[in-house]
Amino acid sequence: MRGYPVVSIQSRSSSAHNRRPPCGLQSNLDYQGLLCAARSGRGWSAAAGVTRRGVVLARDGSARVGGGAIRFCQHWSRKRREEKERKRKKRKERKKEEEEEEEEEEEEEEEEEEEEEEEEEEEEEEEEEEEEEEEEEEEEEEERRWQWWRGGAAGGVAEMVREREGDERGDKKKEGF
């Protein structure tokens, strides 16, 4: 505070706009802006840059004017930039973590899908094997029937067929065909 005037702006009087502006302020409008900032309790950043000379609103409601105010403005704007940078980094980290979690979930889903596909393939293979076994059994049954046909029963049946064919031929011969 050495060498820099400190002006109290705690007044909440409705006639504040009629007062002469405090030292270093350009107009009563600037003073009104500082009063509003003081009432809203925003601290240093609220009044930084309100005037062309660099007025900074202190936490106690006083205004610092001049070079000290400019240095305060620079200090607090640097702090704000650093805070914004920290928040941005945190957001990036959170976003990165969320993306990693999504990737892990996608990988798990892919693994589950692969397992399901493998199970389906195994079921299809089992069904194919069962069908092949059924076909083999049918072929064996058919072979047995043919063997029976060719065997003893087939001989008698074949004779009956020959006789029938002969009878038909004979009938045709008799009729003159």
DSSP string, 59-114: TTSEEE-SHHHHHHHHHHHHHHHHHHHHHHHHHHHHHHHHHHHHHHHHHHHHHHHH
Q: How many whole angstroms separate alpha carbon 21 and alpha carbon 8?
A: 11
Q: How many whole angstroms separate alpha carbon 112 and alpha carbon 109?
A: 5
User: Which helix (H) or strand (E) segment is 146 a member of?
Assistant: helix 67-150
Which residues make beta-bridge pairs with 57?
Answer: 63
pLDDT in single tens digits along all 177 residues of the chain: 444 444 444 444 444 444 454 444 444 444 555 555 444 444 444 444 444 444 555 545 555 555 555 565 566 678 888 999 999 999 999 999 999 999 999 999 999 999 999 999 999 999 999 999 999 999 998 888 777 666 655 556 666 666 766 665 555 555 555
Tell me how long the chain is.
Answer: 177
Q: How many whole angstroms separate alpha carbon 170 and alpha carbon 103?
A: 88
Pairing of strands 6-8, 62-64: antiparallel
Q: Please give the structure tokens belonging to residue 146.
A: 């043919």
Single pTM value for the model: 0.34
Label residue 12 exposed, middle or buried (CB < 10 Å: 0-12, 13-18, 19+).
Answer: exposed
pLDDT at 44: 41
